[in-house]
Amino acid sequence: MNRIVRVLLLTGLAFWSLNAQAQSARLRAANKQFDNLSYVSAVRAYEEFLRVDKKKDPAETRDALIKLGYSYRKLQDTRNAERVYGELVKSYTDLDSEVYLYYAQSLAANGKYRESQKMYSQYGEKQGQDLRGRRFTVSYMDMSRFYQDSSSYRMYNLPINSRQADFSPMYYKGGIVFVSARDESGVVKRVFNWNQTPFLDLYFHPDTNQLRVPGADLNRSVNSSILGGGSDAKAGNTEASADAQPLSKAEIFSRTLNTKYHEGPMTFTKDQNFIVFTRNNTSKGKAGKSSDGVKKLKLYSSVNKNGKWVDIQEVPFNSSEYSVGHPAFSADNTKMYFASDMPGGYGGTDIYVVEFNNGQWGTPVNMGKEINTEGNEMFPYATEGDDLYFSSDGHEGLGGLDVFVAELKDGIAYKGVQNVGAPINSEKDDFGFITDKNRTTGFVSSNRKKGVSDDDIYSFRRTCKQLNILVYDAKTNVPLENADVRILRNGVNQDLRLTNVQGRTDLCVDSNTEYEFKAIKEGYAMNSVRFSTLTQSPKPVMNVSIYLEKSENTLVKGVIKTEVNQQPANGVKVTLRNEKDKSEQTVTTGPDGGYEFDVKPNAPYTITAQKDRYATKRAQYGKTKRKSKVVTDSLGLYGVGDVFQLKNIYYDLNKFFIRADAAHELDHVLAILKEYPQMQIELRSHTDARATDAYNIRLSESRARAAMDYLVARGIPANRLVARGYGESEILNGCVDGVNCTENEHQQNRRTEFKVLAVQ
């Protein structure tokens, strides 16, 4: 298979020593091709040796079969690999444990899960430290979990696929950039020795809309009658051809980035002007090799200037002794994930993460044993929702590489990893996965159709399993219009919907999920209903009903925001305590930061908002003055690392004393520090660019100290404050040395900020 950008990352290339006997000429020729990593030629030579040489030495036959199976494995020819490994297991007992592992993997890749389970069990007996034997043995006892959501997706083979390998798409300016070994123009054809296929380059298709398949709109109106797959595919069919329409030909992405060697998977920053891509180890147009004679993979970056990719540089954590590749930026561009077989990992290739800050790279860190296994993890992709997708043959799957997802919290896969299931995954290799935040549409690479030949890129679309939520008056059964319906998913607040004139709202539900729906309306007591999709329903449309009773309770609604930017705060634990009967209610905010509570009348209450690395906020409320009232409020959180500019604290030129107009703003800081007695802050003072750097540093330090003294004089302990001057190092408006600016513009840079250093 022409996927050298993937297979070069696979480690464990074993060389088996033959017995100290004379080898036949055919066997020597086969071994030479094997040692040169020319697996197509090696297969022909070993097959000829095994077929023709009549007086073969048993040890030579055994070793020839081992290397033949390994060669088929490297060529992704799972059927022939199964045949050869099956012959080995049948004929020999003194085999290394890896033979049983490779046989089990080949059987699974051919859909023979019961036979694969037996081989995994034998592998586990021979290699107890490798957990794959035990995990796959148990996993293949029940395959249903891999198909729980299969009816929700439709897969489409794209018309941009060629006769050669096409894989690893990445979104770029309304289109996709992808890797391809499609035939090149010109007289000279460059062929890769591993599998006799063309080298890989980057290609571009400019419009993903041309690649989308018409059908049900996932953002349909509530009265839409099109559900499921629509009319574009027959029920139960998970694969179809894309709609036939004129397609612009995929074009070479960049003649600057493409070379005569391999270029592979890439990633872009959000502004699309910075790329990191995979390439063979090259220097000045020549291929480099490691000490073991193998060309490794490296990551290179480039900047787009005036429409051209320039300034190609290696990332600092490359090495000629191991491979790094398959880059993927996080949604906020603060870190990058990649795959590597560098020393110290858990298996063949592992997923690593490295910080990226203003063009500067940090030190790579292994993602840990929750992500990485004794097998191979590669092709990472990160979405906006802190979901990390990657492919693995070490986690339990359908065969070959499967796509997995891990929900990250502070960089940790705290819920483990989940196989995304069929039909995105198959018994073959599935990788190069990209999608939107909710996994409703996207692309994936797979060799499921061509098998041994090559990879194709598929698009996928999740069809809607519609659930109608109906809200009624409990006494009259009249539908309630304009009732709020809060959706909780696995215990966490999600969307807030509003019912229509029929008292209905709806959503597309995910599989394997526990839902709760809370109906809220003024004059009624809040009520909720639970709904689970842990088991599949054959119904295309489902309904749940919520009945509300008249009540004199108070509805308390609000939004938690971050003070630094006034954006809704996700993942905040909000607790309402009834101070009269001491009862408590708790919710966790979702993307909209919202919360709702039902409070008994004439009861004072306290709301507490808590989140890691944020100061705990408490707000107390007295008894409501009238019954059946809706109380709304917003609470703000201060987080560690937040920087707030004190907009009205300015200084006269060359002065550092606090002006009278600054007192009000510093009093605001004083109030915050008194409200949060454990908060520690840094007072950061800045100057304009006039005068020397050294003078401005001293002046800004004096200004920061003056602000600190102001707060200390009013009762704030000095150990909660840090005063630091930054001089002219952080100019806001471009008024640097040599630039003419007005006095008002210079004054904007003479400012003081405070940064939250610690909270409790």
Whether the per-residue pLDDT at 698 is higher than 50: the answer is yes
Cβ distance 382 to 368 under 8 Å? Answer: no
Cβ distance 297 to 340 under 8 Å? Answer: no
Whether the per-residue pLDDT at 232 is higher than 50: the answer is no
Give the residue carrying structure tokens 């073969």: 56
Cβ distance 665 to 648 under 8 Å? Answer: yes
Which pLDDT score is estimated for 214?
A: 45
SS3 624: coil
Whether the per-residue pLDDT at 605 is higher than 90: the answer is yes
> Quick one: CA dihedral 185, 186, 187, 188, positive or negative?
negative
What angle do helix axes 58-74 and 39-52 make, rounded to 10 degrees? Answer: 150
Say which amino acid occupies 233: A
Q: Write out the CATH class of domain 4-147.
A: mainly alpha
SS3 82: helix
The model's pLDDT over 248-279, given as tens digits with 9 standing for 90+, comes to: 578 889 988 988 878 999 999 999 999 999 99
Cβ distance 423 to 153 under 8 Å? Answer: yes
Give start-end residues of each CATH 2.120.10.30 domain in the chain: 151-462
Three-state secondary structure readout of 577-615:
EECCCCCEEEEECCCCCEEEEEECCCCCEEEEEECCCEC
Based on its alpha-carbon atoms, the radius of gyration of the chain, rounded to whole angstroms, reads 31
**DSSP string for residues in 295-344:** PPEEEEEEEEETTEEEEEEE-TT--SSS-EEEEEE-TTSSEEEEEE--TT
Q: Which residues pair with 667 in a beta bridge?
A: none
- Residue 222 contacts by C-beta under 8 Å, 6 or more apart in sequence? 500, 504, 505, 506
Please choose, from the candidates 430, 452, 451, the residue with its C-alpha nearest in 3D space to the C-alpha of residue 442. Answer: 430
Q: How far apart, in whole angstroms, are the C-alpha atoms of residue 487 and residue 489? A: 7
Give start-end residues of each CATH 2.60.40.10 domain in the chain: 552-637
What is the pairing mode between strands 297-305 and 282-283? unpaired
Q: With bands split at pLDDT 50, 70 and 90, how would you rate the model's confidence at 23? A: low
Q: Taking the mean position of all CA atoms in its chain, how far away is CA 170? A: 13
Which pLDDT score is estimated for 602?
A: 84
Q: How far apart, in whole angstroms, are the C-alpha atoms of residue 729 and residue 646? A: 18
Q: Taking the mean position of all CA atoms in its chain, how far away is CA 269? A: 14
Q: How far apart, in whole angstroms, are the C-alpha atoms of residue 218 and residue 212? A: 13
The model's pLDDT over 280-333, given as tens digits with 9 standing for 90+, comes to: 876 555 555 656 666 789 999 999 999 999 999 999 999 989 999 999 999 999
> Quick one: CA dihedral 52, 54, 56, 62, positive or negative?
positive
Fold classification of 465-550 is Immunoglobulin-like (2.60.40)
According to the CATH classification, is domain 151-462 in 3.40.50.970? no
Q: What is the CATH number of domain 552-637?
A: 2.60.40.10
Which pLDDT score is estimated for 293?
A: 60
Q: How far apart, in whole angstroms, are the C-alpha atoms of residue 33 and residue 35? A: 5
Give start-end residues of each CATH 3.30.1330.60 domain in the chain: 643-758
User: How crowded is residue 323: how many other Cβ atoms within 10 Å of its Cβ?
Assistant: 29
Cβ distance 295 to 322 under 8 Å? Answer: no
Which pLDDT score is estimated for 193?
A: 52
Give start-end residues of each CATH 2.60.40.1120 domain in the chain: 465-550
Q: How far apart, in whole angstroms, are the C-alpha atoms of residue 222 and residue 541? A: 12
Which pLDDT score is estimated for 446?
A: 95
Average pLDDT for the chain: 85
Cβ distance 303 to 273 under 8 Å? Answer: yes
Whether the per-residue pLDDT at 67 is higher than 60: the answer is yes
Q: With bands split at pLDDT 50, 70 and 90, how would you rate the model's confidence at 80? A: very high
Q: Which long-range contacts (CB under 8 A, 24 or more apart) does 230-233 make?
A: 230/463, 232/154, 233/154
The model's pLDDT over 84-139, given as tens digits with 9 standing for 90+, comes to: 999 999 999 889 999 999 999 999 999 999 999 999 999 999 988 899 999 999 99
Q: With bands split at pLDDT 50, 70 and 90, how would you rate the model's confidence at 150? A: confident
SS3 228: strand
Which pLDDT score is estimated for 173?
A: 93
Whether the per-residue pLDDT at 618 is higher than 50: the answer is yes
The model's pLDDT over 724-746, given as tens digits with 9 standing for 90+, comes to: 999 998 888 889 988 899 988 88
Phi/psi for 161 (5° steps) reads -70, 145
The model's pLDDT over 559-576, given as tens digits with 9 standing for 90+, comes to: 999 999 899 999 999 999
CATH superfamily of the 643-758 domain: OmpA-like domain (3.30.1330.60)
Q: pTM value?
A: 0.69
**DSSP string for residues in 120-170:** HHHHHHH-TT-THHHHHHHHTT--GGGGTTGGGEEEEE-TT--SS-EEEEE
Whether the per-residue pLDDT at 7 is higher than 50: the answer is no
- Residue 137 contacts by C-beta under 8 Å, 6 or more apart in sequence? 117, 120, 121, 124
Q: How much of the chain exceeds pLDDT 90, in percent?
A: 58
Q: Across residues 176-196, what is the average pLDDT?
A: 63
Whether the per-residue pLDDT at 62 is higher than 50: the answer is yes
Burial degree of 245 (CB within 10 A; 0-12, 13-18, 19+) = exposed
Q: How far apart, in whole angstroms, are the C-alpha atoms of residue 143 and residue 530? A: 28
How far is the CA of 272 from the CAs of 52, 65, 612, 731, in angstroms? 57, 49, 32, 26
SS3 350: strand
Neighbour-count burial for 57-95, b at 16+ CB within 10 Å, e otherwise: beebbbbbbbbbbbbbbbbbbbebbbebbbebeeeeeeb
Which pLDDT score is estimated for 149?
A: 77
**DSSP string for residues in 449-514:** TTTTS--EEEEEEEPB-EEEEEEEETTT--B-TT-EEEEEETTEEEEEEE--TTSEEEEEPPSS-E
Please choose, from the candidates 575, 481, 495, 558, the residue with its C-alpha nearest in 3D space to the C-alpha of residue 523. Answer: 481
Q: How far apart, in whole angstroms, are the C-alpha atoms of residue 109 and residue 447? A: 11
Please choose, from the candidates 260, 258, 269, the residue with its C-alpha nearest in 3D space to the C-alpha of residue 303. Answer: 269
Whether the per-residue pLDDT at 452 is higher than 50: the answer is no
* 568 DSSP assignment: B
Neighbour-count burial for 381-405, b at 16+ CB within 10 Å, e otherwise: bbbeebbbbbbbbbbbbbbbbbbbb
What angle do helix axes 97-109 and 113-126 make, rounded to 10 degrees? Answer: 160
The model's pLDDT over 378-389, given as tens digits with 9 standing for 90+, comes to: 999 999 878 999
Which pLDDT score is estimated for 226?
A: 22
Cβ distance 230 to 179 under 8 Å? Answer: no
Angle in degrees, CA 46, 47, 49, rounded to 5: 60
The model's pLDDT over 471-530, given as tens digits with 9 standing for 90+, comes to: 999 999 999 999 999 999 888 899 899 999 999 999 988 877 899 999 999 999 999 999
Neighbour-count burial for 6-17, b at 16+ CB within 10 Å, e otherwise: bbbbbeeeeeee
Give start-end residues of each CATH 1.25.40.10 domain in the chain: 4-147
What angle do helix axes 97-109 and 78-91 make, rounded to 10 degrees? Answer: 140
